[in-house]
């Protein structure tokens, strides 16, 4: 099986008001005459180049409204529709009866078997209902306890029209486990007598979003699959200390193949059992909330695993059900199945899936994986997006999935005003992060995916003295106005085997022998330490309206990331994060950790991520200097490998006294301590580089400093 990480490669009341415009007696034609279509004036004024595509925006919005209307008519509204996880799968009723419901339109018959009936394949048949649904009621036992006990195993037996008998896991299964040395996951009935009750409220949506991207299984120095409890006890305190206010959890939805990094989903409603129980995940999120940290789920609705016995594929014996029939229903690069977003029951399944993670586990939002594959019929395969607007409209756009994303965002933000949604899209589709009523898809943020690619390309191909400051600034600032971006220097993609982290590109094998702070830095370690800090701060300050870091990269985690697989003899050596390195006083990893922490704390004080885009006043090619201001904070970067500048003139807008607030050259950050933090810098009424004032500063080579105006009251 070929498995690739898919990363390579839109008030409840507002929507309800739209629905209430139509009485149950009205027809769709009546509705279309009555509903007011937005003019999208703000979007088109912001970007006049979108004007030729106004009809496309109108069509998308009308399709969304049609879906909302149909949900109101057929299901009583999206609130009930998206709570279908309360009726499908297996549910315990107040009298301890069990209600079971599945959608298997191609099946000839359905039966339930399991521990509860001695694995009898015929004793408990489902009753066929309309629209491909099947139902079964299990009365309680004589002692009034449920017929199926907590932690017992179950299977759906599917009889096909061709006479086959298939053993399947319910697509709505809430817990799946794997016996030692087994290949297939089992459906385990999860109904604990005393479930964990989360007590801490969700934090408010951060104004400045600082994300710690994390994988529970590798969150330990030990060569094993780490647990939810380990993450709660040992990693959450570090994340809090580092100043991140949001965690993005990867690989939580159940996936049979660990090395897929969580991107080949088999159990969409099941929290992965390899890290522990659902209650332990709930506790993790509850503790994070107690620290004021929001938690996002890396949700994969772009495709699904091809597994049949423990996945969605072939659930009812057909080659479609939840998916398009091949070839449309198969992704050639990911070797996976593609959802049919035009299907009513697929919409029920996916939208209820989002609601489940929000309601049951109290997640605070989602990072939607593989959006590019969803948006276009070509899935982005063999397509180089040039930025021509015609690439984002027309027949190549998959309107079914596009409207699904609009619907998902509209519902999520209506039900949960503080919900955060992030799109992973490499195409740069316009209006991805504009509200649906403006003609957009409704995401809050998009990932600025060109930034890490640029840093890797520079480190691989360009000599230090040939770094192009203008090109770097262009990459960091080249984003759609009015659409928020999450900037990052590197994510999990850059840590995967076959690539290297920034730290490894910079310092490589010397990280094994020369990272001790008890010995002088070699030239390689010195360069690597300084550039690692500068790259991250420049990305943090200039690259977006949010910032992301992958776990361990904040302290320059050595080596790559590789999960146990046949090709490495099932080794966990590289499937771990060596947090223990930070705890060693004599290693320089601690210095990088300290800088990352203080970078976040400085942003927390001044709030540049929540401010308008920066004004870049200097991008000097010969001096290798970049200067910009944002949120009334001045950033100065000297990337020159050897040249320091004693009285370097920099542009400042507001007059006043400035002092250093962050300095990458401080000794505790692995720098050389060349700057005096008692120094006060005073502006002069001398216009410079497009700003009203200027001042002179000392800026050592390979150093970045952040200065704040002492005469401004920062009310962030």
Write out the catalytic residue numbers: 369, 424
Burial class (CB in 10 A: 0-12, 13-18, 19+), 445: buried
609, 602, 607, 639: which is closest to 623 by C-alpha?
639
- Under DSSP, the state recorded for 352 is H
Q: What is the dihedral of CA 277, 281, 287, 291, to 10 degrees?
A: 160
Residue 332 φ/ψ region, left for φ over 0, alpha for ψ in the -120 to 50 degree band, beta for the rest = alpha
Contacts of 116 (CB under 8 A, 6+ apart): 138, 147, 148, 149, 152, 154
Both tokens of 429, joined, read 């589709």
Both tokens of 44, joined, read 């088109």
CA angle 680, 683, 688 (to 5 degrees): 135
Residue 222 φ/ψ region, left for φ over 0, alpha for ψ in the -120 to 50 degree band, beta for the rest = beta
Give CA–CA dist 450/350, Å, rounded: 29
Both tokens of 235, joined, read 């990693």
Give CA–CA dist 168/170, Å, rounded: 6
Do the beta carbons of residue 626 and residue 703 sit within 8 Å? no
Strands (E), 530-602: 546-550
- Judged by DSSP in three states, 52 sits in helix
Dmax (CA) of the chain: 90
Give CA–CA dist 674/660, Å, rounded: 13
Do the beta carbons of residue 193 and residue 274 sit within 8 Å? no
How are beta strands 89-92 and 246-250 bridged, if at all? Answer: unpaired
Both tokens of 163, joined, read 């006479």
463, 396, 472: which is closest to 429 by C-alpha?
396
Q: Which stretches of 25-162 are DSSP H helices?
A: 28-34, 41-46, 54-75, 78-81
Instruction: Tell the residue number behind the tokens 């929507």, with chain if given.
Output: 15
């Amino acid at each position: 099986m070929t498995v690739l990480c898919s990363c390579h490669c839109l008030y409840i009341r507002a929507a309800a008001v739209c629905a209430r415009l139509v009485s149950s007696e009205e027809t769709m034609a009546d509705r279309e005459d009555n509903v007011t279509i937005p003019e999208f004036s703000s979007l088109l004024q912001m970007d006049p180049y979108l004007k030729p595509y106004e009809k496309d925006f109108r069509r998308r919005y009308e399709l969304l409204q049609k879906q909302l209307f149909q949900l109101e008519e057929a299901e009583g509204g999206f609130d009930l529709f998206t709570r279908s996880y309360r009726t499908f799968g297996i549910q315990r009723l107040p009298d301890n009866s069990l209600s079971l419901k599945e959608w298997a339109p191609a099946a000839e018959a359905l039966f339930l078997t399991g521990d509860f009936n001695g694995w009898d394949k015929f004793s408990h048949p489902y009753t066929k209902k309309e629209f491909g649904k099947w139902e079964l009621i299990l009365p309680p036992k004589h002692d009034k306890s449920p017929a199926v006990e907590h932690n017992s195993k179950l299977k759906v037996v599917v009889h096909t029209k061709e006479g086959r008998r298939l053993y399947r896991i319910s697509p709505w299964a809430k817990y799946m486990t794997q016996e030692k040395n087994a290949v297939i996951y089992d459906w385990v009935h999860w109904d604990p007598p005393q479930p964990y009750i989360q007590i801490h409220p969700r934090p408010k949506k951060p104004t400045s979003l600082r994300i710690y991207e994390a994988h529970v299984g590798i969150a330990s120095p030990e060569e094993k699959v780490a647990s939810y409890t380990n993450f709660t006890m040992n990693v959450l305190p570090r994340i809090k200390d580092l100043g991140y206010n949001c965690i993005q959890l990867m690989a939580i939805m159940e996936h049979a193949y660990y090395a897929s990094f969580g991107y080949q989903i088999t159990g969409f409603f099941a929290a992965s059992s390899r890290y522990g129980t659902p209650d332990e995940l709930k506790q993790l999120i509850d503790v994070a909330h107690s620290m004021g940290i929001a938690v996002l789920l890396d949700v994969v609705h772009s495709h699904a695993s091809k597994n049949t016995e423990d996945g969605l594929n072939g659930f009812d014996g057909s080659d479609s059900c939840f998916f398009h029939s091949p070839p449309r229903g198969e992704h050639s690069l990911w070797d996976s199945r593609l959802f049919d977003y035009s299907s009513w029951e697929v919409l029920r399944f996916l939208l209820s899936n989002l609601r489940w993670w929000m309601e049951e586990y109290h997640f605070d939002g989602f990072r939607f994986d593989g959006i590019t594959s969803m948006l276009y019929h070509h899935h982005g395969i063999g397509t180089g997006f040039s930025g021509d607007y015609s690439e984002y409209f027309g027949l190549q756009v998959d309107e079914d999935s596009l409207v699904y994303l609009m619907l998902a965002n509209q519902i999520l933000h209506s039900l949960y005003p503080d919900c955060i949604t992030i799109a992973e899209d490499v195409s740069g589709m316009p209006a991805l992060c504009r509200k649906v009523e403006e003609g957009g898809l409704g995401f809050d943020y998009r990932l600025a995916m060109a930034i890490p690619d640029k840093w890797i390309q520079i480190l691989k191909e360009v000599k230090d003295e040939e770094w192009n400051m203008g090109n770097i600034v262009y990459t960091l600032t080249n984003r759609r106005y009015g659409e928020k971006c999450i900037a990052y220097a590197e994510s999990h993609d850059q840590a995967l085997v076959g690539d290297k982290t920034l730290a490894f590109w910079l310092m490589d094998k010397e990280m094994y022998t020369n990272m001790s702070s008890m010995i002088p830095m070699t030239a390689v370690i010195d360069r690597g330490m300084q550039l690692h800090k500068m790259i991250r701060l420049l990305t943090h300050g200039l690259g977006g309206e949010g910032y992301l870091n992958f776990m361990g990269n904040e302290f320059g985690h050595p080596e790559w990331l590789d999960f146990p697989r046949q090709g490495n003899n099932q080794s966990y050596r590289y499937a771990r994060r060596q947090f223990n390195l930070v705890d060693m006083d004599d290693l320089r990893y601690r210095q990088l950790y300290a800088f990352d922490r203080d970078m976040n704390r400085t942003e927390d004080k001044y709030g540049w991520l929540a401010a308008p885009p920066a004004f870049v006043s200097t991008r000097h090619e010969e001096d290798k200097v970049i200067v910009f201001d944002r949120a009334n904070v001045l950033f100065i970067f000297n990337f020159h490998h050897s040249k320091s500048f004693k009285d370097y003139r920099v542009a400042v807008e507001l007059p006043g006294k400035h002092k250093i607030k962050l300095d990458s050259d401080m000794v505790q950050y692995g720098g050389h301590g060349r700057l005096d933090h008692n120094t006060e810098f005073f502006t002069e009424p001398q216009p410079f580089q497009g700003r009203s004032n200027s001042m002179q500063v000392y800026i050592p080579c390979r150093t970045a400093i952040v200065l704040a105006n002492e005469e401004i009251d920062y009310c962030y």
